[in-house]
Chains A and B, each alone.
Chain A
Amino acid sequence: MFKLVKKILPEPFEAKTAFSKTMDEMASADENVIYLDCDLMASIDMTEFAKKFPTRAINCGIQEANMIGVACGASLIGLKPFTHTFGPFATRRVIDQIYISGAYGKTNIKMIGSDAGVTAMYNGGTHMPVEDMGLLRTIPDVTLLEPTDSVMMCDLLRQIKDLDGVYYMRVTRKVTDQIFEEGSTFEIGKALTLKEGSDITIITSGCCTSDVLHAHEELATQGINAEVINIFTWKPIDAEAIINSAKKTNAVLIVENHNIINGLGSAVCEILSENIPVISKRLGVPDRFGEVGSMEYLKETFGMSIADIVTAAKELINKK
């Protein structure tokens, strides 16, 4: 069960702090939890963890391919490996290792890719994963998660610890807006209806959720009643929630911090076109590379700002 915060405000800490705190709790409670990183422990606040759990915090050095293989092997001894590196290197650099040693081999790894999309900000195009989910979406048996805030991230971390299989979670390390009250829990594979509405469905994920909720308020002032659905499990996707909402609104806008090709929008449109082909539009990174900039600059540049969401929603409604 989840509960929305009454007012959206930035979390009073960086997401990486919540991540390391939860990893510490899990490793303290479960001696099978191990953590592997590619020389980015300090970047995600795991230095103290490494001191506290010297045999279970494994710094592989800058060698992502080997890290995935080592994690897969260690899982066969009954360990519960979490891996971390930046999103591009956690996915596109090791796609074959994830495919063969991970999913095809049916091993158990929990992969964390940090700095999802525009949250990479000033690390720029080389470090800005806008394709990570799309790459992994084509691999069978991989579960893809994008937490909405730290409350959800920590809940999902605790859940996937004990689940068999290959999981990829794209996260931000930075301060994010809090969407859910502390104590909220989430069911992997189930979409969340954050706002009920009848004029249009807006489906979103990750850091775009806050923008969509703000857009929802703006649309309401203009007399538009938007339904807001948060899909944090990109795969397996909650088709039923998408279909039911589309039946009600007949228009679906998807807003994502990812390339619109093979991202959340693509996944949603696949469901729509095969079940209820209503009019739809994808807002996100329009098939281009990342670049340096603030999140606000990047969202505006890519056409996924709050203003862009409001405009797109109204245009879509007009096309119904």
Chain B
Amino acid sequence: MDNLNVFSADIRKHTLRALLAFGGGHVGGCMSMTEVLAVLYGEVMKIDPTNPSWEDRDMLVVSKGHCGPAVYATLALKGYFPVETLDTLNKEGTILPSHCDKNLTPGIDMTTGSLGQGISCAVGLALGLSIKNKDNYVYCILGDGECDEGQVWEAALFASTKKLSNLIVFVDWNKKQLDGFTSDICDLGDVEKKFEDFGFFAQTVDGHNVTEIISAIDKAKNTTDKPSLIVLDTVKGKDCTFANIPQNHLIRFGTAEYDDAIAFLDDKISKLESEL
């Protein structure tokens, strides 16, 4: 699993590279979800980077669409497009806009950005696959702040009623949203229990532990009569040296902060590789 930890650290590095090119962005939420991206694209999902629209692929809907840069870093590292493209983030005419856009970026399976909508589209993908008797999986990553949206819970009720066991949803439970702690702004309470009550097979894992994430996905896949929900217990801004600040949803940063963060991540990667 150490290679997935290296991949995750590399996603963090390349996310920061993309964000640096624009002078900042949604650092916090990108950093909290790199392990699950590493697991999905490095191990779990059936994909073909040379054929992004391959009909038999598994699909990912990043419902927290503002964290597109972390997904772009992942896709670039997997070869969907050149790594250098990351430097065009948010530049005029780019294929990498701030929020995920399936019509611009190879490998992005659904356009998102208006919070709460991505999970409905993921549910629709899962329903469509089910109607077509296809055995691909649909993954979806929700933000915890995003779960303020009523549409999330509409989608949850629908998915469990239709027994969409080909749907595996993650909640990036980093406990913070733009204006502060989710517990202060719109308290979600026990996320796992809520989804369980909405008919999901629900689990909670350390969202920065790739082994735990893989194990949870395995258990989810063994569930045959209901959709799955995996709460990723994460830290907003994880492993980004300049993101350990109260307001880390959107951070502007420059070369000095970037160099410091990259040095930390390089050191981490070196240690991980020496253990491989």
Residue on A nearest B116 in the bound complex, by CB: A65
Q: List 24 A-B contacts (CB under 8 A).
A: A34-B131, A55-B131, A56-B131, A65-B151, A66-B151, A69-B124, A70-B120, A70-B121, A70-B124, A70-B155, A72-B121, A73-B121, A73-B124, A73-B126, A73-B128, A77-B125, A77-B132, A77-B134, A79-B132, A97-B120, A100-B114, A101-B120, A104-B111, A106-B111
Known: A61-B157, A65-B150, A77-B132. A70 touches B117 (CB 8 A): no
A244 to B134 CA separation, bound complex (whole angstroms)? 52
Known: A65-B154, A73-B125, A101-B111. 12 other contacts (CB 8 A): A58-B127, A65-B150, A66-B154, A69-B123, A69-B155, A72-B120, A73-B123, A74-B127, A76-B110, A77-B129, A100-B113, A105-B103
Instruction: Check B127–A97 contact: CB distance below 8 A.
Output: no
Q: Please indicate the chain B residues that have their CB under 8 angstroms from the CB of A68 in the complex.
A: 120
Assembly CA distance A280 to B157 (angstroms): 50
Q: Are B161 and A61 in contact (CB under 8 A)?
A: yes
CB distance from A102 to the nearest CB of B (A): 10
B62 contacts chain A at the CB level, 8 A cutoff: no
Indicate the member of A61, A73, A75, A99 with the most B CB atoms within 10 Å: A73
Contacts A55-B131, A106-B103 given; does A73 touch B154 at CB 8 Å: no
Residue of A nearest to B99 (CB): A100
Asked if B86 is at the interface (CB within 8 A of a chain A CB), the reply is: no
A71 interface residue (CB < 8 Å to B): yes
Residues of B contacting A69 in the complex (Cβ-Cβ under 8 angstroms) = 117-121, 123-124, 151, 155
Cβ-based interface call for A296 (8 A): no
B219 within 8 Å of A (CB atoms): no
Task: A51 to B97: give the CA distance in the assembly, Å.
Answer: 44
Q: Does A60 make an interface contact (CB < 8 A)? A: yes
A96 adjacent to chain B (CB < 8 Å): yes
Q: Hey, what's the 0/1 contact readout for B120-162 against A, CB within 8 Å counting as 1?
A: 1111111111011010000000000000001100110110011
Looking at chain A, what size class is its interface with the partner chain? 20 to 34
Q: Which of B117, B124, B150 contacts A74 (CB 8 A)?
A: B124
B122 adjacent to A73 (CB under 8 Å): yes
- How distant is the Cα of A71 from the Cα of B131 in the complex, in angstroms? 13
9 closest cross-chain pairs (CB), A and B: A73-B124, A69-B120, A77-B128, A66-B154, A105-B111, A70-B124, A63-B154, A74-B128, A73-B121
A78 within 8 A of B: yes
- B102 contacts A by Cβ under 8 Å: yes
Give A161 to B259 CA distance when docked, in angstroms: 54
B114: contacting residue among A34, A58, A60, A96, CB under 8 A: A96
Contacts of A34-57 to chain B: CB distance below 8 A: 34, 55-56
CB distance from B223 to the nearest CB of A (A): 21
Whether A65 pairs with B120 at a CB distance below 8 angstroms is yes
- The reply to whether B117 and A100 contact each other, CB–CB distance below 8 Å, is yes
Which of A65, A69, A104 has the most C-beta atoms of chain B within 10 angstroms of its own C-beta? A69
Question: Inside 8 A of B110's CB, which chain A residues have their CB?
Answer: 73, 76, 101, 105
Among residues of B, the one whose C-beta sits closest to the C-beta of A60 is: B158
Q: Within the assembled complex, what's the spacing in Å between the Cα atoms of A240 and B118? A: 40
Complex contacts, B102 vs chain A, CB 8 Å: 105-106
Query: What 1/0 mask marks residues of chain A from 71 to 96 whose CB sits below 8 Å from any chain B CB?
Result: 11111111101000000000000001
Question: Do the beta carbons of B158 and A74 come within 8 Å of each other?
Answer: no
Once bound together, how far apart are the Cα atoms of A151 and B65, in whole Å?
Answer: 43
Residue of B nearest to A106 (CB): B103
Contact B150 A61 (CB under 8 A): no
CA distance A68 to B158 in the complex (A): 12
User: Are A66 and B132 touching (Cβ within 8 A)?
Assistant: no
Tell me the residues in window 94-152 of chain A with beta carbons closer than 8 Å to chain B beta carbons.
96-97, 99-101, 104-107
Nearest Cβ on chain A to B66's Cβ, whole angstroms: 13
Name the residue on A nearest B140 (C-beta).
A73
Least Cβ–Cβ distance between A283 and chain B, in angstroms: 37
* Alpha-carbon distance between A230 and B132 when the two chains are bound, in angstroms: 40
Cβ–Cβ < 8 Å partners of A60 in chain B? 158
CA distance A101 to B102 in the complex (A): 11
Nearest Cβ in chain A — how far from B115, in angstroms? 10
Output the least CB separation between B98 and chain A (Å). Answer: 14
